[in-house]
Amino acid sequence: MTQRITFPPSPIKLYGIIGHPLGHTMSPPLHNWGFQALGVPGEYRMFPVELSMLAAMMEQVRTLPIAGLSVTIPHKVAVMPFLDGISERAKDVGAVNTVFWDGPRLRGENTDVHGFLAPLRLLPRPPRSALVLGAGGAARAALAGLRELGVDRVTVSNRSADKAISLAKEFMVHTLPWDERARAEAELVINTTPLGMKGQRQNQSPWPESTCLSAKQIAYDMVYNPQQTPFLTEAARNGSRTIDGLSMFVHQAAEQFRLWTGQSFNLDEARKLITGLLAAG
């Protein structure tokens, strides 16, 4: 029998994030701040949903209804069969991180690519080469973004060589063994792994201790909590330009908010809000 999830009735539009676990996410304070700042009658909640509960959750999205969802691990791929359609960008990535209503249709989008590209579009020119560390959902967004940006040479490196090879074949890019990742000649090095994320891996870096990025390279960490990771700290110490994950997080969330409400919140104020919350611990 399908397990049914119930929530208390809400007089305002209900939004939320589904995934498991959800302890690290800053999405609720950001979106709830956006609703308040723009006078939108909405409330954003955390819905810790395991894979076995996903079907029941998506039934509730339609019957309550829930006005919009952020989607995180482990549902970015699994949620797609429950939708009425997905965008071309989500098809390109092979994952959905946003669920929204398009009239009567429940659709999926991937705003991670939008967020990923935002700080890169501010560079004087696009990087000519890039190394993507990791082969999960975040790596997919990075690879799709690099393709949109027109980066000529892209390489993937991951602890699991099979996953790296499979992903590289799908996106038609190069691979490099994890132990040899420092050999890559890449202007842009992107961490899409959870190494450095708040918790058990907070003191870890995806870059080998025996080598350093150069001042000619850019270090981009998609981890945003903490804002300053070991990867970025070491790169900055050696003169590399750095891009923190907070830029991506705020921009992808702003695009979600726009899809749900048709309105845009102030990006600078949003960044200040999350920076303050991260500093407060």
Catalytic (active-site) positions: 76
- For the chain, the C-alpha Rg in angstroms (whole number) is 19
Q: Which strand (E) or helix (H) includes residue 157?
A: strand 153-157
Nearest to 114 by CA among 273, 250, 271, 267: 250
CA distances from 168 to 55, 73, 127, 202, 219 (A): 31, 21, 19, 28, 21
Q: What residue has token string 């967004």?
A: 141
In angstroms, the CA 13 to CA 152 distance is: 44
Contact 33, 254 (CB under 8 A): no
